[in-house]
Amino acid sequence: MVLVTKKVNETVPKSRWVASLSNGETIFEDHLENEEPAWERLKRYVVENELSITNLRAQFNTGLEITLPPGQEGYIQKKKAWITSGRGGLMLCIGYVQGARCLIHEGSSDGDSISKIGPDPGEPWTIYSRERRCLTQQ
């Protein structure tokens, strides 16, 4: 059984991704002890249940929220550590895929945000739509 968090509770970090699914469910990033990362569990959940992510957003404890366009070919999420001028933190990166290109939004807990276009990073960061997964399996 794949464990995904469908409501906000103590396992949900203050800076997190939130995924809307094709069956109407909303899944929140969590940190469960002795479990795979939430993104890996979400990937298994959507594949096993033949679902797609219909929208993805990032929420930060500063109030910053980044919302991606709905209905994309795939959505990506990854974390990246940063350090500048003796300060550091964790950057939450979310993005979406169109063709082989990806628009990535990077946001940090201090409210900074940047966007960049690059190649689709693929597995394990990208979860593709059900339609695209079906096409690649043929």
Q: Domain-by-domain residue ranges, the chain? A: 16-137
Q: How many CB atoms within 10 Å of residue 41?
A: 19
- Per-residue pLDDT at 138: 40
Q: pLDDT tens, 21-65?
A: 999 999 999 888 888 999 999 999 999 999 999 999 998 877 788
Sequence-distant contacts of 88-94: CB under 8 A, at least 24 apart:
90/15, 92/15, 92/16, 92/17, 92/58, 92/60, 94/17, 94/56, 94/57, 94/58, 94/66, 94/68
Q: What's the pTM?
A: 0.85
The pLDDT confidence band at residue 107, using thresholds 50, 70 and 90, is: confident
Dist CA 41 CA 44 (whole Å):
5
Q: pLDDT at position 136, please?
A: 57
